[in-house]
Amino acid sequence: MNPDAPRGGAAMAYAVGILGTFLIVAALVVVMQRYTKSDPIDQVRAAARAKALAELRAAESEAMRTTGWIDQGKGVVRLRVEDAMKIVERDWGKDPVAARSNLIARVVKATFVPPPKPSEFE
pLDDT in tens, 74-115: 888 888 988 989 988 998 888 899 999 988 998 888 888 888
Spell out the domain ranges in the chain.
7-36, 66-113
Higher pLDDT, 122 or 104: 104
CA dihedral 20, 26, 32, 34 (to 10 degrees): -120
- Cα 35 to Cα 90: distance, rounded to the nearest angstrom: 58
- Cα 51 to Cα 45: distance, rounded to the nearest angstrom: 10
CA dihedral 40, 45, 46, 48 (to 10 degrees): -160
Residue 31: predicted pLDDT: 95
Q: Name the 3-class secondary structure at 57.
A: helix
- Cα 116 to Cα 113: distance, rounded to the nearest angstrom: 9
pTM equals 0.45
